[in-house]
A and B are shown apart, each in its own frame.
Chain A
Amino acid sequence: MSAIGRFAPALALVLAGALTSCISNRPYRVTAPVLHETPPLYCPAGGAHYTLSFIEFDDMGELWDPGELQSAIQTIRDARDQAPLVVLFVHGWKNNASDKSGNVSGFRCELGSIAARYQRNVIGVYFGWRGDITNVQFFKNFTFWNRINAATRIPGAHMTDAIVTIMRETKENDRGGEASLILVGHSFGGLVLERAVTQALVERIEEADTATSTAAGEFRFPADLVVFLNEAGPALQAKQLLDTLYREGAEFSTEAGQRDPLLLSLTSKGDTATHLAFPGGQALSLYKVSLRKYLATGSDKAAPDEFGIADQRTYYLHTAANTDALQSHVIGRQDDPAVKAALAEGKAIYATADLGGGRKFLIVPKAAARNTTPYWIMQMPVEFVPDHSTIFRPEFEALLIAFLDKRPDMMLRSKAASPPGPRLRRKASH
């Protein structure tokens, strides 16, 4: 018997097992898209009750059921007088909206923790998409190219509309001005969220001079913070938005001039998936794309772009937070060389994240950073997030709070009268 013949039964068994392990293209929550829950008993931080709403998108980016979006909107509307804290989460690779997804379990614990800590009416909005197509762990890793294509494809009109509608319902229709909205996208979910929000944000920037803005050239963006966490998407996406913000001279600041992040990209220094595996995966797909060198303005001579990068290949292979040239800030202890360099350059400390036990981390603009836009990009120490996937933890929550505490309109702890919140405005010099 030939070698192939000898192994044919085993091969057939593996094939049959692999194919029966496929996760079908289906929604999970159409029958009950809104859940009022107490968190799982094992959650590390315990927790209080919360509301969890699911909005699911199919593999082409269409809403599986527009009723899910309507239910989410109605939930936010019903809570309008209770100063709700809305957390919109877009999950990543190897996850979906089912109860078997680790991101669903983690999000539940996180919502419970936030609700207990801030005594607010917490509404979680979970954006589900088909991030997982097989149950076999080994095969999951080979779905990288298939799923990054899906993550690039699905942020279309339906998703952007869903995000904008939630933003408006939470912030613009918020009579008391006390509602808060945080958007978080993890891994491929960061790519999904970035692509969806970019469209909405660019549209708002272009509208800034119209009657809808609060004053000429400025407006309040209807979200308190947009976070791309361990984002697994090529920096090309971020680069285009950075270019727009750079050209428009946009800054996100309070009346007093304090600059805040409008968009925040945070990647753990221990995230080997985006540090190493992502460039590897992208390198294998280089044959599919045509990349170019950057040219000097009005010339056909090669010249680095405003961030000092010579070609698109760099942005294609790396994520934004793993591209040194795009990093705007550093997070580290007082004795961290990058923090020391920034302080020596006269940069002011933006915020401090205190993890207790003497573990204090400073958030400082990076020394000689070229990215001075309101899209802040940085890496975070492993104390906050140790790797790519362990994201639902109190330490990361503390880091987000360090950012949010700087925002006068967040009012996580107090429902006192709100001072004017940060606004996105154009600088006159541009």
Chain B
Amino acid sequence: MLVLWITVVCSGQTAVWESATSGSSAQPVYSQSPEPGCDAYTMQEIPRLEFKRKACAYRDQLLTGSALFGAAFFAGIAQLQNDPSEWPQGADGFGRRFGVRYAQGMAKSTGSFLFGALDHEDPRAHPPANLFCASHDHGPKTGFWPRTGSALLRVVWVHRDNCTDGIAFSHIAGALSSGFIGMAWTPPPGNTIGQAFARSGTAFGGDVAASVFSEFQSDIFGVVSRLFGRGKAKQ
């Protein structure tokens, strides 16, 4: 309801603007098109993402459907398991469980963004070919196993801005950030370094699952959509 209300309010926003007469040029002078920002096309096609655009990608990860619904889903499971038992049931307990999971997700994105930026890693799954790079092998693969292998490799091996490939420190940093930020609020009996590493492992596993799901997302959705029928003619 909240988001629907916001869309309704947004749809009513009107602004004034400066009007000016327009005209055509008899002898056109061609100028360079303006420097693009963080639009979807540019983010996908530009060979090298500068810090500003990496920050845009990070910003867009902070409030997403998967972040919210993922946090709600796992908070629901924790609520059913009464984990941690020190927290109450009901809305209060669910709110806490949801909040910490969402905060852990944000910590993961933040850690991943900061380390990735410092390490000059490209956060995109399939960075486009860069004419200045001697070799480039990050295009989409075909076939089940090559695609699975590519999805798994992306979590540990990443393309860098200087055309080299290397260990994906951003994923490791993100997972550790997520695991250790939990020490700020986890009740004492479970608030140990070991538990923090366990949470980091879970976060890293989430990265692996997300990478594989993202690789096969269109195929999965394609199968699901066929289940709902596609307007076939009656014979």
Contacts and interface: CB of A to CB of B under 8 A. Distances in A.
A139 B6 contact: yes
B222 A3 contact: no
Contacts of B233: 304, 307-309, 324-325, 370
A159 interface: no
B135 interface: no
Contact of B60 (A27, A137, A235, A276): A137
Contacts of A139: 3, 6-7, 10
A314 B232 CA distance: 9
B36 A40 contact: yes
Task: Return the 8 tightest CB-CB contacts between A and B, nearest first.
Answer: A308-B233, A323-B231, A102-B40, A24-B15, A102-B41, A36-B28, A272-B221, A3-B91
A37 interface: yes
A95 to B, nearest CB: 9
A23 B95 contact: no
A65 B225 contact: no
B29 A36 contact: yes
6 contacts: A22-B13, A40-B33, A134-B10, A146-B11, A270-B222, A382-B218
Contacts of B44: 390
Interface in A18-32: 18-19, 21-27, 30-32
Nearest to A306: B233
Given A51-B28, A304-B234, A308-B232, 14 more contacts: A3-B95, A18-B6, A31-B18, A43-B45, A44-B128, A44-B129, A78-B26, A94-B40, A101-B39, A103-B41, A105-B39, A136-B63, A143-B11, A386-B218
Q: Kindly state the interface size class of chain B when it binds its partner.
A: 35 or more
B45 A42 contact: yes
Contacts of A101: 39
A315 B233 CA distance: 12
B96 to A, nearest CB: 9
Contacts of B91: 3
A43 B3 CA distance: 36
From A42, A101, A324, name the one whose CB has the most chain B CB atoms within 10 angstroms: A42
Interface string B207-235: 00000000001100110110010111111
Interface in B1-15: 2-4, 6-15
A287 interface: no
Given A33-B22, A272-B221, A309-B233, A138 B34 contact: no
